Amino acid sequence: MLKQDIGLDQEGFMEVLVERGTPLPHDFSCQIQLNGNEQLFLYEGNHFETKDNFRLGVYTLENTMDKDGSFVFSLHLSEHASEYRMKILIDDHLIDTVSCTQHEQDVPLEESRKFRNAKKEFTDYIENTLLFLQDPLTQKHVPEWKWAIEKLKWANQIIDYPVTTEEYHFALYEIEGILHPLFAKTQHLIERTPL
């Protein structure tokens, strides 16, 4: 079983890819878009801020990305005798093998992580829903799309204020409740639209 989280640095915070407690062996893969950044910083540890965790490696990616700047990042974790090993692959090419810790680490206070996750979940919903509403197919079938965009912009004002984790959860619940009937209608109409 994995003793500590494995993750990537995201602007000073650890984005967890494989959680502590995961049974081994374990494989993980995801598509990554670097947006101009040509290095990947991989860490292990149970802290919210990257600086408090242990750096496993730094990987330069300038020659590994496809034309749209993305690649498939994979981890293969296994347990061999008395050590945990992790193979790191980019687009199915092995770029490194590292040892992971075998020691339990106290889990720090989780409030910071919960807050950041709640904020990210809320902002991701706002951004993805705005993209959906800007789609011409959505606008063709849903005359209320401008109203929905106004509601999203209204809800998004919360990020300008000091709010709690629970307030982000409630704000997400509230805006989803407002827009759900609209999306149910949209899904019904789009499914019936001939290609």
Name every residue whose Cβ is closer than 8 Å to that of residue 117 and which is 6 or more positions away in sequence.
none
In a domain, 46, yes or no: yes
Mark whether 43 and 122 lie in a shared domain. no
Tell me, yes or no, whether 106 lies in a domain.
Answer: no
Residue that finishes a domain, picked among 100, 122, 143: 100
Tokens 């959505």 locate to: 138
Domain boundary among the residues 79, 100, 121 is at 100
**How many domains does the chain contain in total?**
2
b/e sequence 11-30, b meaning 16+ C-beta within 10 Å: eebbebbbebeeeeebeeee
Q: pLDDT tens digits for the chain (195 residues)?
A: 788 889 998 888 888 888 888 888 889 888 877 666 678 899 998 888 888 889 998 988 766 555 566 788 888 888 876 678 888 888 888 888 888 877 776 666 566 677 878 888 999 999 999 988 888 888 887 788 899 999 999 999 998 888 888 889 999 999 999 988 877 766 655 554 443
Which residue, of 70, 100, 130, is where some domain finishes? 100
Give the CATH number of the domain where residue 78 resides.
2.60.34.10
User: Domain containing 24: what range?
Assistant: 6-100
- Cβ(87)–Cβ(97) under 8 Å? yes
Query: Same domain for 10 and 91?
Result: yes
Ramachandran assignment for 81, one of left (phi > 0), alpha (psi -120 to 50 degrees), beta (any other):
left
143 contacts: CB under 8 Å, gap ≥ 6: none
